[in-house]
Amino acid sequence: MSAPREVQVSAISDAVAGLCGQADIELPADVRRSFEQAMAAEESPVGKGVLARLLENADLAQDTRLPICQDCGLAVVFLDLGQDVHLIGGDLTEAVNEGVRRGYKDYYLRKSVCHPFSRANTGDNTPAVIHTRIVPGDKVHVWLVPKGGGSENMSKIFLLTPALGLEGVKKAVLDTVIAAGPNPCPPIILGVAVGGTFDDAAVRAKRSLLRELDSVNPDPEAAKLEEELLAAVNDLGIGPAGLGGRMTCLKVFVDIRPCHIASLPVAVNVQCHAARHKEAVL
Ligand code: SF4
């Protein structure tokens, strides 16, 4: 049996700090491609104009090294930790928070985290929300997702009666988008998790937002539902920035897994057009 690979937690701090700057400043290439496709498909001149401004904004952020949006988000960190890794040199959670602290300071990103009642800002954008999985292998895979408040506030979770079935799931998603209207800064991306439990569905809905926008879901049932939901959402007419048009939503990601015989959980995580995430492998 080979010895576990040792990884200093300071390397995770360094990676997270760098990812904060990249994620908040560089729009992912798949999101940019999706804006271009949406601009070509948009029927509303106003909607086309909004999409053109979003592309211009992404270019400006890249050229000036300033954030894509003033809301630099709460730092959500997904960590896939190889089971053959031995972390050394400190506490993993503190290492992630140290990376966030440094990244938000060094790249002049807005600190958007506060106490829920006093609203006193924590001053350094910590604590991060960290989701860790133990996976095969000897690598540490880190994703940094700055999540804006406007779109997160429009997200919903439903514990449906099983008899409501597939039609109930579709209605839950559409009701979420209708209630959100212009608030989550459309064009949006939807992460939809069906099945599992209350907690698990919420995390899977958020994790699904890590997928590439032009990726095809390997689960044919989920892929079909993604297409149906995207068409139904884009028939609502909310449009870019909520000013009317077809391109309300760029992509729906669906994740389906079994659930309790008495349950039908559905989590809908709404992502705004500032669909930021960057990753590193150590
Ligand atoms: S919802 Fe997204 S685009 Fe809108 S202000 Fe928040 S982070 Fe920015």
pTM of the predicted structure, to 2 decimals: 0.96
Percent of the chain with pLDDT over 90: 99
- What pLDDT shows up at residue 3? 87
122 vs 116: CA distance, rounded Å:
11
Q: Which of 232, 231, 230, 150 is nearest to 185 (CA)?
A: 150
* pLDDT digits 0-9 by tens, 26-76: 999 999 999 999 999 999 999 999 999 999 999 999 999 999 999 999 999
88 vs 67: CA distance, rounded Å:
33
CA of 68 to the centre of ligand 1 (A): 9
CATH number at residue 103: 3.30.360
Atom of ligand 1 nearest to the CA of 70: 8
Omega before 127 within 30 of 0, i.e. cis: yes
140 pLDDT more than 70: yes
Residue 49 lies in a domain: no
* pLDDT digits 0-9 by tens, 85-102: 999 999 999 999 999 999
Average pLDDT, whole number, for the chain?
Answer: 97
Binding site membership of 152 for ligand 1 (Cβ less than 6 Å)? no
Looking at the structure, tell me whether residues 200 and 88 fall in a common domain: no
Identify the domain containing residue 156 by its residue range.
150-274
CA of 71 to the centre of ligand 1 (A): 6
189 vs 185: CA distance, rounded Å:
10
The tally of domains found in the chain comes to: 2
170 vs 234: CA distance, rounded Å:
13
Residue 280 lies in a domain: no
Residue 38 lies in a domain: no
Atom of ligand 1 nearest to the CA of 183: 1
Looking at the structure, tell me whether residues 229 and 155 fall in a common domain: yes
CA of 115 to the centre of ligand 1 (A): 20
274 membership: H or E segment, kind and range = none
Looking at the structure, tell me whether residues 102 and 215 fall in a common domain: no
Tell the residue nearest (CA) to atom 7 of ligand 1.
148
Omega before 116 within 30 of 0, i.e. cis: no
273 vs 18: CA distance, rounded Å:
22
Looking at the structure, tell me whether residues 133 and 250 fall in a common domain: no
Measured in residues, the chain has a length of 282
Looking at the structure, tell me whether residues 91 and 201 fall in a common domain: no
Residue 35 lies in a domain: no
* pLDDT digits 0-9 by tens, 263-275: 999 999 999 999 9
Q: Using the 8-state DSSP alphabet, how is residue 216 labeled? A: -
CA of 236 to the centre of ligand 1 (A): 21
Name the one residue in this structure whose structure tokens are 């133990």.
Answer: 134
Q: Which of 271, 210, 276, 212 is nearest to 24 (CA)?
A: 276
Binding site membership of 146 for ligand 1 (Cβ less than 6 Å)? no
Signed CA dihedral, 53, 54, 57, 59: sign only: negative
Looking at the structure, tell me whether residues 246 and 196 fall in a common domain: yes
- What pLDDT shows up at residue 30? 96
Task: Determine how β-strand 129-135 pairs with β-strand 74-82.
Answer: parallel
Which of 118, 147, 176 delimits the end of a domain? 147
Name the one residue in this structure whose structure tokens are 């190889």.
Answer: 82
Omega before 162 within 30 of 0, i.e. cis: no
Looking at the structure, tell me whether residues 120 and 158 fall in a common domain: no
149 pLDDT more than 90: yes
CA of 69 to the centre of ligand 1 (A): 6
109 vs 105: CA distance, rounded Å:
7
- What pLDDT shows up at residue 1? 64
Atom of ligand 1 nearest to the CA of 184: 1
